[in-house]
Structure 1
Amino acid sequence: MPLDTNRLEPVLPWLKFRGPDDRGIWSDRHIQLGHTRLAILDLSPLGHQPMSFQDGRYWITFNGEIYNYLELRAELVQAGYQFTSKSDTEVLLAAYAHWGTGCLEKLRGMFAFAIWDRKINQLFLARDRFGEKPLYYWIDQGTFYFASELKALLALLPHTPELDPIAVDLYFHYQYVPEPLTPLQGVRKLPAAHFMTLQLDSWKVDLSQYWSLAQIQPLEGNISELIRAELERAIDLSLRSDVPVGIALSGGLDSGTIVALAAPKYKKVLHAFSVGYPGSPPCDEREQARSLANQLGLPFHDVELHTEALVEFFPELMKALDDPIADIAAYGHFAVMRLAAEQGIKVMLSGVGGDELFWGYDWMIEAHHMTQQKQRQNSISAIATTLGKLAHIPIYEKFAVTPKLPKPVRSLLVQGLNAHLIDNEHPNQFVFYNLRQDFRSPWYHRRSLYSQEFLTQLPERNPFHPSVGNDAAWSDITTHLCQVLFNTWLVSNCLALGDRTSMASSLEVRLPLLDYKLAETVIGLQKQYPNEFRNKKAWLKQAVQDILPAEILNRPKRGFEPPYASWIQALLDRYKDSVVSGSLVQSSFLNRNYLVKLFQKPYNNYALVYRVLVLDTWLQNIR
C-alpha cells in the first residue's frame, strides 16, 4: 500500500507535551517515523530524532533514557564505533548495530523505541524491563501503527475501535486494564521486558521476552551491603542529566532513601516537592517531608490540594492519564509534577517501586501466607467450602467482618471465605488479588451492574484467582507473586500513572528503586536466603539505617495518600447525573437502573463508583 508521507503531520501535536523541545519526521518507501523531543541529554540539535546511524541503514525513534550510556559508549568506542553527538540515542543505535537484540541485556534505564533496518526491511520495537515507558500498537491488513500515547495512535486509525468487553470487565476488578490489553479492541501494548520484530517482506511478526524475575540466579553475600551498593549505583546513574533534577518527597522510607543518597551526590541544587491538604489531616506528610529536606539543606516546595479544584480539573486529569486508571492518587502526582515544572525542573526522582520490590503491602504478605497454606493443603471440609460460597454473596461479606453477627457465626463465615479463596477447585492458581475487597466487589455486583448484553460477551472464568503458576512457580512462591504484581499493578497502575502525570507537564520521572540491577540483587538474595527474607521493607531499612532518621525508618507507609472519601463524594455530586445516562449505558455495557441506585447517597462503594466515573469520562474523551 502506498505510504501517505503526510500521515504523521496531524499526529505529532498529540505528542507535543511529551516532547516540546523539537519534532521530526522521516519517511522511507514503506515506513514513516515521527518524534517529539524532550531534551534531557545533549541539548544540541545533534540529539534530533528520528536519528540515523551507519550511513542511514538504521533509523530510530526513542522515548526514555539509557542511564549507563557513558559506559556503553566507551565499550563501543573500543569496538571501533565513532560518535558525532553526546546523546544516549546515538549510543542506543550503535548498541543495536553491534549487538543486535542482545543490546537489551546491556541497557540500564527506561525505554520504548523502534529501530528500522533499511537493509533487511525489518522494524524492531522494544520496551524496558518494568514498562516505565509505554508503547501502544495496532496491526491490521498490512498496516502497523505504534505510538507512545493512545490518543496519538487513535489519530492514525480510520475510526475509534469498540470497547473490548473482557478488558472492561478486568478494569472493574483491577481499577486499570492489565497489559497487554487496552480498553479498545485490536489496540495492544508491547509488554514490559519484551521486544517485537516485524519483517516487512513477509509481514511476519515475532514477540519475545528478554528478561524475567524467574531467570534471576540466587545471590550470596552480605544482604545489607549488596543492596546498599546497588542503591548507590542506581542513584548515581539516575542523576545523569543536562537539565535540573528534583525529587517527589512524601516523607516516607522510599523517597527518603532516594533523597538521602542523592543529595550529597548531586552537584547542583536538588529541589524537593510534596503535596498536602487543607487542615493538615493525618494523611498530610508535608511536615515530615519538609523536615527531611531541611536536614539535607534542600529547597522545599509544596502544593495544597483542594477538593473544589479537583472537581473542576477532573476531565483534564482523565485526558492526561490516557488510559482509564481509577487511582484517586493521580491528582496528587499530577500536582507535584506541575509544581516542579513551574520551578524549571525537567527530571524528577520518585520512590515508586519500593513497596513492590521490598514487599511493603500487608495484603501481599497475606497472599503469600495463604498460597503457602494452599500448597500444603490437600482438602477442605464440606462445611468450609459451603460457607465460602455463601461468604462471597454481598450481604455476607458486608456483615461477616462486623459485630452485627454473633461471633461464632462471624468466625465461621470468615473461615469459609478464606477457604473459598484457597479452594482446591483450581489447584494451580495462587491466592493474590482475590484478598482485596475492591477486587472482589465487581464480581458480586456484576449481574446487577453489567447489562445482560455485556454479560453474554464475557467468557466463563474465575476472577478470584488471577495468578496461575507452573511447577517452577510453586517452588518459588515469593518470586512468582512478585512477578505477577510487577506485570499488573506496578506497570498498569503505578508506572502508567507516573509516566502520564509527569509527561503532561513535559517532565521526566525516574525511578531508582526499579533499577534492574537492584531488582536482580534483591530477588537473588531472596532466592538464596528464603528463610531470612524480611518483608515490610526490613532489608531496605537495614541497608539505609545509617543515613535516615529513626522517625522515617519506623513510620508506616502512606505516600501521596489523599482524603479519597471526600474527593470521590464531591466528584460524584458533580458528575453522577451525566454518568448514569453516559457512554457506558448508551454502549449497553452497564445497567442504568442499577447505576442510579449505586450513585445514591450515602455512597457505600467508593471504589466501584469511582471506577464507573473514570471509565465513563475516559470514554467520552476518546469519542
Structure 2
Amino acid sequence: MCGIVGILNRYEAQSSSLHTSLRCLHHRGPDDRGAWQDEYLQLGHTRLSILDLSPLGHQPMASEDGRYCISFNGEIYNYLELKQELTTLGHSFNGHSDTEVLLASFAQWSTACLDHLRGMFAFAIWDKETQNLFLGRDRFGEKPLYYWYDKEAFYFASELKALLPLLPTVPELDPVSIDLYFHYQYVPEPRTPLKGIHKLPAAHYLQISREDWKFTPQCYWSLENIPPVTGDPATLIRQELEKSIELVLRSDVPIGVALSGGIDSSAIAALAAPKYRDTLQTFSVGYPGRPAYDERNQAEALAKSLKLPFHDIELTTEALVDFFPSLVAAVDEPIADIAAYGHYSGMQLAASQGVKVMLSGVGGDELFWGYSWVARAARISELKDHYLQAPTWKAQGIRTLRKLAQHPLYQKLGQSKKVPIPIQSWFRPGIDLSQMTLSPPDRAVFYELSPDFVEALTYRPHLFTQSLWEHIPLDNPYCLFPLSPPTTLDIPNQISQTLFQTWLVSNCLSLGDRVSMACSIETRLPLLDKELAELVIGLRKNQPDHCLPAKAWLKSALKGILPNEVLDRPKRGFQPPVQEWMHAVVRENLETLTTGHLVELNILSKSFVQALRDEFSNKGRHTFMLYKAVVLEIWYRQIVLSSQSAVRI
C-alpha cells in the first residue's frame, strides 16, 4: 500500500517538484520515497512495504528495457500465479514484489492486463515509446485516484491533499457536488467537492496521449457482463471465500483482523485462524457505559475460541471532539459518517501492536443484501415497474392496496416484531407498496427509503443561497437512482450495482482507505474479491435472493464454521453512539458555521444556518444536517485552504 502522484506535461517539462505532494502522502508510505522523471513526465511514490521488503521493491520502477515506468498503490493478490504465467511467456524478474509482476503484465497484455488482476490497485504507467500515460483502478474502487487537467498538463494523486499543491490555482467548490453531499453524506464518484477534480471511477482505466491530449475513462468490468451461474450457493460461496482469504493473507508483515460481533468479520477471523493462528491478532472498539452499542464481549469470546490474541480500546465522546478536526483532515474528503472515529481508533490500536495489514468485513452487507432498506428498494422497484406497465384494472387494484396499507393497523401487522413472521409476510407486499414513490417515474426506488435523504429534500429549498441554486439541476438528488425499467440488468441486480457505485465506494471504501492509511496500515477486504463477487452475482441471476432473509446465502455457507449464536445474532453493524457523538461535535463547532467559509463563499444561506443553530441550541433539532455542515466547513479549512499555504510549484 502506497501513495502515488504525477504530472504529465504536454509540451515541455516544468521546473516543478513533487516534494510537497510526497510529504502530504508520507502516511501512506513511511518506509520509502522515490521520484522519477523524463522529458515530459514526473512520477512520485511513497511506500508502505508489505511484499518484498527489500530495495528491489522501490518505486517508481522502470522495466528492464527502460520503455515503461510504474507508480503503483495497492496489492495484486494473485501475483505469484501471474508471475509463473509470465515467466513461461519469457519474462524474468529481479525481485519478489507484485509491482514488478504488474509492470510485466502491462508489457505483455497492455490494457487487457486488468482482466488478469485479482486485488486492489490504483496505478500509473508511462510508455516512453508511445508517449502514453495509462491509469488504472480496481473493480470496486478500494484504492483512490484523483486527477485534474488543463491544456498543458495532467496531474494525478492518491489524495486531494497531495493533488492540490500541484495545481496552478485552487479549484472552487462545485455546487452540484455540494448538493449531492448534503443528500448522501458523501460526494458520489466520479465527482469530487471541487470543480475540475475528478476521480477515476472504479473498474475504469484512462489513457492519455501526449500528442492528441484526448482521453475518456473506459470501463473494463461490470456486473452487467457476469454470466449466470448454477449450483448450490452455500457450497460454492464457501469454497470461493476460503480461496479469497488465502490470497489476501499473503504478506511479509504482521496481520490483524478488525473484529466486531457480526458475521462478516467473524467469518474472516474463523477462516483465517487455522492456518495463520501464530501471526494473526484481533482488534475491537467499545464505548464505556454504552452496552447497547458495545460488541467487545462477543468479539472477545470469538477470538478466545479461535485462540487468537484480542486487543480492544474504549472510545469517549470527549476524545472524539478534541480529535475531530484531525479526523476530518485524515479522511481527505467530506464524508459525514461519524463511524470514521471508531475505524480510525481501531487502526491506531493495531498500529501500536506492530500490525501493518488489517482484514475487514467491509463489502459483506453490499454483496449479500445485509441492508434491509436495499432489499426493500429492490422489491419496491419491482412493484413500481409492474405498476407502470400494468393494465388499468390492475393498476387500480395496486392503488387500492397501497392506500389500505397506509393504515396504522396494517403497518403494525406487517412490521411489528411481536407478529409471527409468516403473518408478516402476508402484509409485506402492501407495506412495500405504501412506500412506493411514483416520482420521478423513470427512476427506480433507491435512497428515498433513507430518512436522512428525505429529510435533506425538505431542507434543500432553504439551505443554499440563490447564487448557488442557479447552478444546481432541480432533479439533482435523483441523478444516481437506477433507471426504471432497467435496460440490461434485472431490477434487484441493478439496485445492487448502484449500491456498489455509490455508498460502497464513495462512503465505505473511501473512509476505510483514508483512516487506515492515516495510521500507515493497509486494509484488505476478502469479501470484495473479484471471483467471489462474480460468483454471487452470477448465482443471483438464476436464483434471486433479495426476498430471502438478510445474508441468507452467506449464513448458509458459514454453517459449521461459525457458532449458531453468531449466525443467528441480529444485525447491528458498526454502531457507535451516533447521536451523542454528532451532537457533541455540532455543539463544539456551532458558532463557526454562521461566520465560516461556507457562508462567506455564498454556499449556505446565513439566515437559514442561524435558524438551524437556534433550534439546535433550544430543542436539540437538526443534528445530522448541522453535522454535515460542520464536516464540510472543517474539511474546507483543513484541506482546501491549507493547500493555499503549501509550497506551490
State the TM-score, normalized to the length of structure 1.
Answer: 0.92
Unaligned runs of 5+ in 1: 392-400, 402-414
Does the 8 Å CA contact 1:245/1:345 hold for their aligned counterparts?
yes
Q: Deviations over 1:70-93 (max 9, x none)?
A: 000000011111000100000000
Matched residue, 1:335 = 345
C-alpha contact (below 8 Å) 1:176/1:492 kept by paired residues:
yes
Distance 2:297 2:380 in 1: 38
In 2 relative to 1, CA 217–382 (structure 1 residues): closer, same or farther, beyond 3 Å? closer
> Within 5 Å, which residues of 2 pair with 1:280-291?
280-291=290-301
Match of 2:623 among 589, 600, 606: 606
Q: Structure 2 matches for 1:89-488, cutoff 5 A?
A: 89-266=99-276, 268-378=278-388, 421-423=436-438, 426-461=440-475, 463-464=477-478, 466-469=480-483, 473=487, 476-488=490-502
The 1-side partners of 2:543 and 2:172 are apart by: 49
Residues 1:25 and 2:35 are matched in the alignment: yes
Structure 2: stretches of 5+ with no match in the other structure: 1-10, 407-414, 416-429, 642-649
Q: Shift of residue 215 of structure 1?
A: 0.5
Q: Could you tell me how far 1:452 is from its partner in structure 2?
A: 1.7
1:11 match: secondary structure: helix
| C-alpha deviation, 1:437, in angstroms | 1.1
Deviations 1:518-567 (A, max 9, x none): 00011100002126973400100000111111111011222321101111
Per-residue Cα deviation, 1:174-209 (whole angstroms, up to 9, x for no partner): 000000000000000000000000011111213210
State the alpha-carbon separation in 2 of the partners of residues 591 and 103 from structure 1.
49
Secondary structure of the residue aligned to 1:468 is coil
| 2:580 aligned partner, one-letter code | S
Contact 1:179 1:492 in 2 (8 A): yes
Could you tell me how far apart the structure 1 residues matched to 2:192 and 2:489 are? Answer: 32
CA distance in structure 2 between the partners assigned to 1:465 and 1:77 by the alignment: 47
1:618 aligns to what?
635
Q: CA deviation at 1:459?
A: 1.6
In 1: Cα distance, 2:549 partner to 2:238 partner? 17
Structure 2 counterpart of 1:524, one-letter code:
G
Aligned equivalent of 1:14: 24
Alpha-carbon distance in 2 for matches of 1:22, 1:499: 19
1:384-417 per-residue CA deviation (whole Å, 9 max, x = no partner) reads 79x99xx9xxxxxxxxx9xxxxxxxxxxxxx999
Name 1:575's counterpart in structure 2. Answer: 589
Q: Residue 560 of structure 1 aligns with which residue? A: 574
- Separation of aligned partners in 1, 2:573 and 2:279: 24
State the distance in 1 between where 2:325 and 2:265 align: 29
| Closer/same/farther in 2, CA of residues 456 and 416 from structure 1, 3 Å limit | farther
> What is the RMSD computed on CA atoms of the aligned residues?
2.2
Q: Is the 8 A contact 1:434 1:465 kept in 2?
A: no
Conserved? CA contact 2:73–2:122, under 8 Å: yes
Partners of 1:12 and 1:474 lie apart in 2 by 43
Cα distance in 2, alignment partners of residues 529 and 85 from structure 1: 45
State whether structure 2 residue 82 is matched by structure 1 residue 72: yes
How far residue 474 of structure 1 moved from its aligned partner, in angstroms, is: 6.9
Letter in structure 1 aligned against 2:510: A
Report deviation, 1:606: 2.7
Q: Which moved more, 1:265-274 or 1:313-322?
A: 265-274
Q: 1:515/1:533 Cα in 2 relative to 1: closer, same or farther (>3 Å)?
A: farther
SS of 2:73's equivalent in the other structure is: strand
2:3 maps to what in 1? none
| Counterparts of 1:519 and 1:383, CA distance in 2 | 35
**CA 1:198–1:464 in structure 2 vs 1: closer, same or farther (change >3 Å)?**
closer
Name the CA distance, whole Å, in 2 between partners of 1:611 and 1:532: 31
Structure 1: how far apart are the matches of 2:472 and 2:78?
Answer: 45
The answer to which of 454-463 and 333-342 deviates more is: 454-463
Residue 457 of structure 1 aligns to a residue whose secondary structure is: coil
TM-score, normalising length: structure 2: 0.89
Q: 1:199 to 1:354 in 2, by over 3 A?
A: same
2:69 paired residue number:
59
For 2:180 and 2:100, locate their aligned partners in 1 and report how far apart those are by CA, in whole Å. 40
Counterpart CA distance in 1 for 2:370 and 2:174 is: 33
User: More deviation in 67-76 or 568-577?
Assistant: 568-577
Assess if the C-alpha contact under 8 Å between 2:139 and 2:530 holds in 1. yes
Q: Would the aligned equivalents of 1:580 and 1:592 in 2 still touch at CA under 8 Å?
A: yes
Q: Distance in 2 between matches of 1:470 and 1:384?
A: 19
Q: In the aligned structure 1, how far is the partner of 2:541 from the partner of 2:132?
A: 39
The CA deviation at 1:66 is 0.1
Q: CA deviation at 1:10?
A: 2.1
**Corresponding residue SS for 1:201:** coil
Tell me, in whole angstroms, the C-alpha distance in 2 between the residues paired with 1:202 and 1:325.
36
**How far, CA to CA, are the matches of 1:229 and 1:417 in structure 2?**
35
Output the CA distance in 1 between the equivalents of 2:544 and 2:375.
14
Aligned counterpart, 2:646: none
Which deviates further from its counterpart, 598-607 or 436-445?
598-607
Alpha carbons of 1:475 and 1:331: their partners in 2 closer, same or farther (altered >3 Å)? closer
Which whole-Å CA distance do the structure 1 matches of 2:601 and 2:34 have between them? 38
Change (3 A) 1:278 1:36: same
- Does the aligned pair in 1 maintain the 2:22–2:45 contact within 8 Å? yes
Aligned residue among 574, 584, 591 for 2:605: 591
Contact 2:383–2:433 (CA<8 Å) still a contact in 1?
no
Cα 1:294/1:104, change in 2 over 3 Å: same
Deviates more, 1:472-481 or 1:341-350: 472-481
State the 1:223 CA deviation.
1.3
Separation in 1 of the partners of 2:79 and 2:164? 33
Change (3 A) 1:596 1:150: same
- Selected match of 2:560 from 546, 568, 575: 546
Range with bigger deviation, 256-265 or 1-10:
1-10
What per-residue deviation string (whole Å, max 9, x for no partner) do you get for residues 237-256 of structure 1? Answer: 01000000000001110000
Q: Secondary structure at the match of 1:337?
A: helix
AA partner of residue 52 (structure 2): D
